[in-house]
Amino acid sequence: MVAKKKKSFDKYIYYENSVQSPEHHAEWFGRIFHEVTDRTAHSWREDFCGTAAMSVEWVKLHPKNTAIGIDLDPEPLEYHTRNHLPKLKPEVRKRIQLLNKNVLDVHQPKVDLITACNFSYCIFKERALLIRYLKGVCRSLKKGGIAILDLAGGPGMIAPMRERKTLRSKETGKFKYVWHQRSFDPITHNAQYSIHFQLSDGEWKKDAFTYDWRLWTIPEVRECMKEAGFKNTCVYWETSHKGEGTGEYIRTESGDNAFAWVAYIVGQI
Ligand SMILES: C[S@@+](CC[C@H](N)C(=O)[O-])C[C@H]1O[C@@H](n2cnc3c(N)ncnc32)[C@H](O)[C@@H]1O
């Protein structure tokens, strides 16, 4: 009898099925743009795009929408080319461009909206470097354009812990996702995190993704945005953090002292 060949592990399938809600975010970021600028965004740059899942959803939303995804690592970009592009009609596909580059080096073409999600800009641990990145973002925005940066915080984001979820998808079957908060240094605000997966056959894939970040605070990021040249900044804060949270966000200048939170910081030029 011929033994059944084991499917090779593709960590990006697991990542997309545990961490991201690209459809929701593409639509919602478009609405934030409208709320803040009173205009409609069509051109989006997804910085630190990984597999550029949000770019895919953005170009599907409107025939005028375009997306540029930027990532330093060719591996998630190749995943995008293999798994996302073939599912798109040629007319839709041609409105996405991927750049295997450093976000610090790209300033053209100018776009309406730039996002940096999943706290990716926290790899810039020095203020001067974060400001250099944000200055580049300003240069890359059309007049009146906006940038949206997400950020997480609260005691629940720095306590050493493992958050476990059992998930399921068509491609992977049932699997376990573990968000592991490895360490936090209150003096430097450096924090290390990992994502582990346990596959449906029980095999563990430890440290499938690892992160070494400076956990910035909201006022620090807003101050850096101002210094980089953004005219205004505002914050979208979740309306409640009890239980699972509401998933509903409002613009506010004061937040509840949540145990763990994810907020969206918006800068307008
Ligand atoms: C936390 S992942 C985020 C992926 C995706 N944006 C998401 O929301 O899930 C961070 C990504 O940023 C990329 N990256 C790190 N430094 C970068 C840089 N300087 N320029 C471009 N991409 C970078 C990494 O290769 C990785 O794919």
DSSP annotation string for 123-141:
G--SHHHHHHHHHHHHHHE
pLDDT at 4 over 60: no
Protein residue closest via CA to atom 19 of ligand 1: 102
Direct distance between the N- and C-terminal alpha carbons of the chain, in angstroms, rounded to an integer:
66
Across the chain, what does the average pLDDT equal?
Answer: 96
pLDDT in tens, 220-251: 999 999 999 999 999 999 998 887 778 899 99
Protein residue closest via CA to atom 16 of ligand 1: 72
By most ligand atoms within 8 Å of CB, the mutation choice from 11, 13, 48, 137 for ligand 1 is 48
Protein residue closest via CA to atom 6 of ligand 1: 49
**66-69 long-range Cβ contacts below 8 angstroms, 24+ apart:** 66/42, 66/95, 66/96, 66/97, 66/111, 67/43, 67/95, 67/96, 67/97, 68/43, 68/44, 68/96, 68/97, 68/98, 68/99, 68/109, 68/111, 69/45, 69/96, 69/97, 69/98, 69/99
Grouping H, G, I as helix, E, B as strand and the rest as coil, residue 193 is strand
Compute, in angstroms, the gap from residue 30 CA to the centroid of ligand 1.
21
By most ligand atoms within 8 Å of CB, the mutation choice from 21, 47, 72, 137 for ligand 1 is 72
Atom of ligand 1 nearest to the CA of 70: 21
Atom of ligand 1 nearest to the CA of 119: 1
Protein residue closest via CA to atom 13 of ligand 1: 48
Q: Please give the C-alpha separations between residue 122 and each of 3, 106, 169, in angstroms, as whole numbers.
A: 45, 18, 30
Q: What whole-number distance in Å separates Cα of residue 168 and Cα of residue 99?
A: 31
pLDDT in tens, 128-168: 999 999 999 999 999 999 999 999 999 999 999 999 999 99
Cross-strand partners of 161: 181
Protein residue closest via CA to atom 11 of ligand 1: 48
pLDDT in tens, 51-92: 999 999 999 999 999 999 999 999 999 999 999 999 999 999
**Ligand 1 proximal residues by C-beta, below 6 Å:** 19-20, 48-50, 70-73, 76, 102-104, 117-118, 120, 123
Question: What does the DSSP 8-state code read for residue 38?
Answer: S
* pLDDT level of residue 6 (50, 70, 90 thresholds): low
Predicted confidence at residue 246, as pLDDT, reads 86
pLDDT at 3 over 70: no
pLDDT at 101 over 90: yes
Both structure tokens of 241: 């953090």
Q: What whole-number distance in Å separates Cα of residue 190 and Cα of residue 211?
A: 10
pLDDT in tens, 105-129: 999 999 999 999 999 999 999 999 9
pTM of the full structure: 0.96
Q: ∠ CA 157-160-166 to the nearest 5 degrees?
A: 75
Atom of ligand 1 nearest to the CA of 76: 27
What is the CATH class of 12-153+216-268? Answer: alpha beta
Predicted confidence at residue 259, as pLDDT, reads 95
Predicted confidence at residue 243, as pLDDT, reads 75
pLDDT in tens, 172-194: 999 999 999 999 999 999 999 99
